[in-house]
């Protein structure tokens, strides 16, 4: 068994009865003739009985729908929870199972032990159910004075399967536990208020989280940032009483077959600076460090899984405040690679800290360089709140999209048209940090591309991921996704790292 922060995952052979569980969670698909039960959770007679009962109770098997009923004498637990997966066209997909398991786990608050009677007979299905159960069993309670037992997350999730017990099944269970734990770690960082999580405390969190792993943490304080010409990070952070940091989290196994570098935007709170944001919804700007949280936990997960690939996370940490020393519109900053940037909008600050991070990360000549950021509101206008935009070199976007086919996270490839670069021209400096609104997500990527590569080093394959919408859920929980921090991207970045050696 492998434990996450709140839930323990274990396995049981399918067909056993009365497993000592408080709850049995059953998946059901929707259809024109009513819900159909999946996974052979019951014998034929009991299945027919339930198939007749469920529609009378209003349960149709729609995605996310739940219904709790008392169990029969021979059922696997004292209570049954039915969870809808939605319409199944041919076979139920791993992502349908992952989301349904997450819904079941979220509904199982206050429960000690639940058994998941899902169709988990393939490796992919089993992993999806295990991940979904762990991802759904989550609660951020660090800032609460007390938590009732009824609100506590599910403590143990038992996955019923016909797969043969052994090293491979054990490894899949461990993998699911690790990626879920680090996804939830990223969520909880995003949920943490900015008076608790700021550049220095974020740095300390990274140092503490790396203990016990084959990971080296290096920190650039404001003096070291200045000595190395990190004008972007310093420029954004100088309006705050809390100075900025650059943190390198390096997992470098001795026999690494490739090197993945990840750069994360870590604006621990974004007021917009002198270009002040509107007050409505500004409290959500505690989430503007989601990119740094994502790349940190992706690197830590790679280290915990002992992947044969070097993974380096760069956390670009600053607080964007309108203090008396804040960068003003019209100021010119000199970035780490020597290029000068006229700041025409201090609320376009993420690209400034990322520019320094990308330039610095390029010096290590990684095989693949990805940056992750809650960078633009234009991303949400273009792709909504659940789909991230990915752009850059074809090989980089392809690596992300391919990994996402396995994780179920949603990305969409976007272009970086050459004509957009002209709108970033500046009369005063090499370029400016913002232009007109048209193509805002793409224009941010065009800006970042200016800082990929280092003098004397061949430019790495690069991709930019804008997670402004998917990183923070302002709506209701759905699937395995809670309200507020989602941890979006951690699982896909781990998948990119796993596939990188074979792609070289």
Angle, to 10 degrees, between the axis of helix 394-407 and the axis of helix 490-503? Answer: 120
According to DSSP, the β-strands at 8-13 and 36-37 are unpaired
- The most distant pair of C-alpha atoms in the chain lies apart, rounded to whole Å, by 79
Q: Encoding tokens for residue 473? A: 């859920």
DSSP E strand boundaries for 129-197: 156-161
Rounded Cα–Cα distance for residues 170 and 329 (Å): 56
Rounded Cα–Cα distance for residues 476 and 469 (Å): 14
Task: Judge contact between 189 and 289, C-beta under 8 A.
Answer: yes
Marked catalytic residue, from 62, 68, 257, 277: 277
Q: Is 277 a catalytic residue?
A: yes
Rounded Cα–Cα distance for residues 24 and 393 (Å): 47
138 is in an annotated binding site: no
162 is in an annotated binding site: no
Rounded Cα–Cα distance for residues 315 and 203 (Å): 9
Rounded Cα–Cα distance for residues 400 and 467 (Å): 13
| CA distance from start to end of the chain | 34
Rounded Cα–Cα distance for residues 335 and 452 (Å): 12
349 is in an annotated binding site: yes
Q: 341: which strand partners?
A: 333, 431
Rounded Cα–Cα distance for residues 177 and 468 (Å): 26
Annotated binding-site residue numbers for Mn(2+): 265, 270, 288, 347, 349
Annotated binding-site residue numbers: 265, 270, 288, 347, 349
Catalytic residue annotation: 277, 351
């Amino acid at each position: 068994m492998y434990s996450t922060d709140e839930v323990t995952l274990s396995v049981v052979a399918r067909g056993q009865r009365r497993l000592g569980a408080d709850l049995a969670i059953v998946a059901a698909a929707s259809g024109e003739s009513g819900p159909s039960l999946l996974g052979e959770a019951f014998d034929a007679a009991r299945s027919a009985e339930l198939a007749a009962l469920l529609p009378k109770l209003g349960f149709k098997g729609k995605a996310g729908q739940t219904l709790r009923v008392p169990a029969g004498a021979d059922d696997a637990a004292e209570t049954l929870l039915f969870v809808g997966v939605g319409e199944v066209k041919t076979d139920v997909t791993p992502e349908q199972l992952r989301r349904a398991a997450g819904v079941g786990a979220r509904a199982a608050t206050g429960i000690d032990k639940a058994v998941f009677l899902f169709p988990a007979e393939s490796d992919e299905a089993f992993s999806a159910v295990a991940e979904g159960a762990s991802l759904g069993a989550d609660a951020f309670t660090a800032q609460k004075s007390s938590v009732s037992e009824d609100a506590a997350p599910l403590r143990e999730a038992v996955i019923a399967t016909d797969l043969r017990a052994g090293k491979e099944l054990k490894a899949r269970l461990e993998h699911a536990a690790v990626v879920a734990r680090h996804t939830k770690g990223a969520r909880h960082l995003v949920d943490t208020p900015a008076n608790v999580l700021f550049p220095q405390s974020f740095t300390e969190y990274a140092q503490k989280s790396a203990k016990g792993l084959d990971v080296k943490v290096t920190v650039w304080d404001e003096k070291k940032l200045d000595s190395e010409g990190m004008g972007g990070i310093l420029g954004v952070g100088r309006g705050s009483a809390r100075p900025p940091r650059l943190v390198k989290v390096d997992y470098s196994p001795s026999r690494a077959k490739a090197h993945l570098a990840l750069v994360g935007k870590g604006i621990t709170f974004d007021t917009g600076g002198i270009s002040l944001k509107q007050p409505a919804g500004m409290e959500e700007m505690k989430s503007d460090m989601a990119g740094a949280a994502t790349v940190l936990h992706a690197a830590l997960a790679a280290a915990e899984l002992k992947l044969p690939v070097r993974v380096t996370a760069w956390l670009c940490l600053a607080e964007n405040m309108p203090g008396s020393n804040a960068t003003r519109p019209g100021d010119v900053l000199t970035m780490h690679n020597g290029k000068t940037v006229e700041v025409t909008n201090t609320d376009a600050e993420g690209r400034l800290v990322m520019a320094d991070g990308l330039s610095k990360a390029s010096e290590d000549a990684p095989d693949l360089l990805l940056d992750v950021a809650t960078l633009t509101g234009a991303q949400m206008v273009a792709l909504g709140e659940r789909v991230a935009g990915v752009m850059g070199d074809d090989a980089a976007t392809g690596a992300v999209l391919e990994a996402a086919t396995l994780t179920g996270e949603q990305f969409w490839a976007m272009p970086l048209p050459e004509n957009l670069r002209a709108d970033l021209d500046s009369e005063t400096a090499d370029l400016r940090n913002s232009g007109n609104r048209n193509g805002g997500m793409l224009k941010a990527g065009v800006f970042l591309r200016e800082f990929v590569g280092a003098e004397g080093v061949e430019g790495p394959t690069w991709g930019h991921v804008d997670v402004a919408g998917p990183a923070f859920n302002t709506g209701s929980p759905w699937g395995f996704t809670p309200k507020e921090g989602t941890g979006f991207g951690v699982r896909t970045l781990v998948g990119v790292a796993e596939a990188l050696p074979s792609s070289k």
